[in-house]
Chains A and B, each alone.
Chain A
Amino acid sequence: MSSLYTVFMFVFIFSPLMYYGIGLESVFIESPSSKKMILRMPLFVVNVLLTVLVAKPVSMAMMSLGDVFVLIPVVVFVTSSVISAISVIVAPYALSDGRPFSGLFSFGLVLLSVMNGYSLMDSLLLAFAGILSFLLSTLLLAAITNRLQYSNIPLYFKGIPLVFISLGLLSLLFYAAGISWWITE
């Protein structure tokens, strides 16, 4: 039950997307081609979870050493880069369009879960919830943009302005879920 509670809290209330903003640009980039994103999703999930699995014990060891803890972000980043480099070799389709998949989001998410999680299981759970939140928002935004393609929209609102407004409304939706949960609690 407590695991479900953590996932719910992180996906809706402390969504890394809306609360920390670390996935906004990835959602923006990925949403027009949601099919491609879904194809690459398994690789992304493995990447993030594997990075947390490796980086968390190392960062915990560094915490116990004292002043070295300031270098934890560097360790997280090096681990993240090495694992994504290996995954690109294993599955080259992840880089088929010449752009690293969700680079900033993956780094931010791993850093967040490594720094905020108390145990290895908590960190993995936070990373999983972050991925879920990213997937949910990207799919929602993709559905919105698909529908808007066939709608009669003023010329100046087409493209970026409408994506911004849709993202804003999505973030309100996330807040509403969080607030209503707080009120009932």
Chain B
Amino acid sequence: MMRNRTVVVAVLSLCLIIPAAVRLSFSLVLVVDIMYLMLAITGIRKLVSRFLSGPLARVAELCYSVLAAVFFECCLAVFSPILDSLLYMYVLLASVSAYLLLYPEYDIGSEPATGLLKSSFLKSLQFCCYILLFGLFRELLGMGCISFPSRTGIYQIPLFSFLGHDLFRFAASTGGSLIFMGIIVATGRFMRKCMEIARRIQK
């Protein structure tokens, strides 16, 4: 079950992580969006479960999640129209991703509201860490700088000039990041196996 959960998180995050988390500034916007959506969806699910059940409740929850994403998109457009034009599609798609991440987990009617909010916050935190790390890694390798969201678009701080080379820029592209992701997952598995063996030897 736990393994399936990891796979689901990995697969659903692909849609946002690969094309949208190209820069740290974009990742930060997405992190705020996902945190807000997770909390908003949890709240409305609790409310909807009192009045509706079954497929009708699901449609109502999903419609509300898209509406919440539209509200966030409007706020982003007020803060920075440039950022909004760059991330418009992903801000909206995050609503469906966030809903699918939350959906099959628990019986929402029987859980207390504070417990639900806490668990959805922890779940989104894990997802957001992936997005932030990915954005930071890709921006540093591909452009040799880090950026933050600002009213004029993005505020860029150059760090390492040698990292902006074409050789490293490949890591920031869609193809490159997918390949690197595969290598990172394989390395993670290898490390876990090594640690397991070391623990057994220690015992």
- Chain A residues near B (Cβ < 8 Å): 18-22, 24-25, 28-29, 70-71, 73-74, 77-78, 81, 85, 103-104, 107-108, 111-112, 154, 156-157, 160-165, 167-169, 171-172, 175
Contacts and interface: CB of A to CB of B under 8 A. Distances in A.
A165 B175 CA distance: 8
B125 to A, nearest CB: 21
The DSSP consensus for interface residues of chain B is helix
B70 A73 contact: yes
A164 B12 contact: no
Given A22-B93, A74-B66, A156-B190, A104 B178 contact: no
Contacts of A77: 62-63, 66
B15 A29 contact: no
B14 A25 contact: yes
Contacts, number: 109
Contacts of B97: 104
Given A19-B19, A24-B18, A168 B92 contact: no
A24 B182 contact: no
A85 B193 CA distance: 45
Contact of A172 (B19, B175, B183, B193): B175
Contact of B178 (A71, A167, A175): A167
10 contacts: A21-B16, A21-B19, A24-B15, A74-B63, A156-B187, A156-B189, A161-B186, A165-B183, A167-B178, A171-B175
B178 A164 contact: yes
A70 B74 CA distance: 8
B130 to A, nearest CB: 14
Given A74-B67, A111-B89, A29 B18 contact: no
B51 to A, nearest CB: 18
A169 B179 contact: yes
Nearest to A88: B55
Interface residues of B, number: 42
Given A73-B92, A77-B63, A111-B89, A164 B19 contact: no
A29 B176 CA distance: 21
Nearest to B192: A156
B34 interface: no
A165 B179 CA distance: 4
B89 A20 contact: yes
A78 B63 contact: yes
B40 to A, nearest CB: 14
Contacts of B69: 73
B42 interface: no
Nearest to B189: A156
Given A156-B190, A171-B174, A164 B89 contact: no
Contacts of B189: 156, 161
B184 to A, nearest CB: 8
Contact of B59 (A29, A81, A171): A81
